Amino acid sequence: MTLATRFSRIVGELARTRPASLSAEALRAALHARRMVLLKAVLIRLERERAALRPAGHRRFEADWALLERAERTEPAAVRALLDYPMTGAWLTETLAADEGPALEGRLGYLSGLAVAAAVRAGCPVEGELAVPSGRLVLPSLGELSCPSGRVRLGGYPGSARITDSAGLADVLLTRLLPDSRHPVGGGPGWSGLRELPGSTVVLDDVDPYRVPAQGVGPEALPAVRRPHSASRRWAEQWRAAQALLSATDPERAAETRTLLRAVVPLAPSAHPSGSSMSATLRAAPGAMLSQLPPEPGRLAEALVHEVHHSKLAALHELVPLYRSGGARYRVGWRPDPRPVSGVLQGVYAHLALTDLWRRARGGPPGTDGFRDRAERQFETYWDAVGEALSILRESDELTFVGREFVQEMECHHASLGVAARSLW
């Protein structure tokens, strides 16, 4: 298979929204390549702006970087998994956008926790002291330690790390995080470890400072929820039920959500509840679903499929641009406000995946009656809405060559769903 043929097959697989190992592998590679580019961009910026940072800030950055390199030499796959964690992407993006001086230096402090987390994942020994001015040492993908004194001591041995608040008010012993772990990696006073959602390695991230932008998410500018208000038990219950529903309806999609998602970020409830829940994916952090707690498992199942496809399209667009920025705005059936072509494409892709799910759910197994009834209504509404939006994309001059190819493949899948649905009538 030539490179061009392989790439065309990947684009076709992704456009049809069905889970496929070849496209999943390509997206993981594209995501990691993007992270490495961003990491190099941070290094270049720091070299250019060296005079604008305090010497102490440079020394700390160099020590953190040395620990990250040591962890990478010890266990490359473990460090790669951490660099590909969604919030690492959000941090890199904000760091590159930060103003010169204190704002940039403040964001560089996150690298200390990142380096320690990499060492823990790799089983690499750590030692020394760290300043923690915020009073919270966040270890991305693992959790956070309260640090009332503003400093922590690091110690341990290969495969284990101990982090202790300098005043002795908090302490955690972390053991190496194995790939198939289903258990917390550590414990101790002042430690808040991330919880894995049942039957998966997806974590409920309610501590990372980069999990939600400072301005919030959506029309209501919703903030993230911190524990103990993140309703972790209810999230676990809803997740388990939603996964069971997806597995009964579309096992491949259920597996895809557990594979491509790395984190779920709880959002605050709306000031004016409407009975529905809001969810989102940040372009800088694909693999994380930001969401209010849905009212029932079926809505969570739909949100999972919806946001996974936003992540897939974001990663594909980073690999090869699908559109060029333009000023045109278009109305679509699922939004009250006119959308740019990028928003139309994202919406079409996510709703095409949902339409595929609803088509399968219409003939679902016993025990999914409520979901079947909703799927019947949703399929009829959104099959038409997706078709109308696809015609907008077909006529747009803002798509690239690959973008047009992608839309053509989506149109073929959309048509096949209509034929398959009519065969059930």
Q: Which element (helix H / strand E) includes 279?
A: strand 279-280
365 torsion bin: left (phi>0), alpha (psi -120 to 50), beta (else) = beta
Q: Is residue 172 part of a domain?
A: yes
User: How far apart (Å, rounded) are the C-alpha atoms in residues 282 and 359?
Assistant: 28
Q: Say if CB 27 and CB 7 are below 8 A apart.
A: no
293 torsion bin: left (phi>0), alpha (psi -120 to 50), beta (else) = beta
pLDDT of residue 179: 52
DSSP-derived letter for residue 196 is E
For residue 228, whether the previous peptide bond is cis, meaning omega lies within 30 degrees of 0, is yes
Q: For the chain, what is the mean pLDDT?
A: 91
Range of the domain at 80: 49-193
Out of 5-9, 79-83, 265-269, 339-343, least confident range: 5-9
Out of 80-84, 108-112, 160-164, 272-276, least confident range: 272-276
Tell whether the model's pLDDT for residue 425 goes beyond 60: no
User: How far apart (Å, rounded) are the C-alpha atoms in residues 114 and 109?
Assistant: 9
Whether the pTM exceeds 0.85: the reply is: yes
Q: Is residue 31 part of a domain?
A: no
Q: Is residue 15 part of a domain?
A: no
Q: Is residue 94 part of a domain?
A: yes
Please tell me the total count of domains within the chain: 1
Q: Say if CB 155 and CB 144 are below 8 A apart.
A: no
pLDDT of residue 184: 44
Q: Say if CB 333 and CB 395 are below 8 A apart.
A: no
Tell whether the model's pLDDT for residue 158 goes beyond 90: no
User: How far apart (Å, rounded) are the C-alpha atoms in residues 165 and 36?
Assistant: 32
Which backbone phi and psi does 303 adopt, to 5 degrees?
-65, -40
- DSSP SS3 for 100: coil
Convert the pLDDT of each residue in 68-118 to its tens digit: 999 999 999 999 999 999 999 999 999 999 999 889 999 999 999 999 999
pLDDT of residue 304: 98
Convert the pLDDT of each residue in 329-386 to its tens digit: 999 999 989 999 999 999 999 999 999 999 999 877 777 778 888 998 999 899 999 9
276 or 403, higher pLDDT: 403
Q: Is residue 189 part of a domain?
A: yes
Q: Which amino acid is at 2?
A: T
Convert the pLDDT of each residue in 181-197 to its tens digit: 544 467 889 999 999 99
Name the token pair of 166.
């300098």
pLDDT of residue 235: 97
The 3-state secondary structure of 172-194 reads EEEECCCCCCCCCCEECCCEEEC
User: How far apart (Å, rounded) are the C-alpha atoms in residues 133 and 151?
Assistant: 8
Number of alpha helices (DSSP H) and beta strands (DSSP E) in the chain: 13, 13
Candidates 282, 304, 141; CA nearest to 213 is 282
Q: Span 253-264, mean pLDDT?
A: 96
Q: What percent of the chain has pLDDT over 90?
A: 75
Q: Is residue 178 part of a domain?
A: yes
Residue 257: HSE in the Cβ half-sphere, 13 Å Cα cutoff:
27
Q: Is residue 10 part of a domain?
A: no
Which backbone phi and psi does 330 adopt, to 5 degrees?
-135, 150
Convert the pLDDT of each residue in 374-420 to its tens digit: 998 999 899 999 999 999 999 999 999 999 999 999 999 999 998 76
pLDDT of residue 182: 46
pLDDT of residue 272: 77
Displacement of CA 296 from its chain's centroid (Å): 22
User: How far apart (Å, rounded) are the C-alpha atoms in residues 195 and 199?
Assistant: 12
Out of 52-61, 218-227, 243-252, least confident range: 52-61
192 torsion bin: left (phi>0), alpha (psi -120 to 50), beta (else) = beta
Q: Is residue 184 part of a domain?
A: yes
Cβ-based neighbours of 14, under 8 Å, separated by 6 or more: 20, 23, 27, 312, 313, 316, 406
Displacement of CA 179 from its chain's centroid (Å): 18
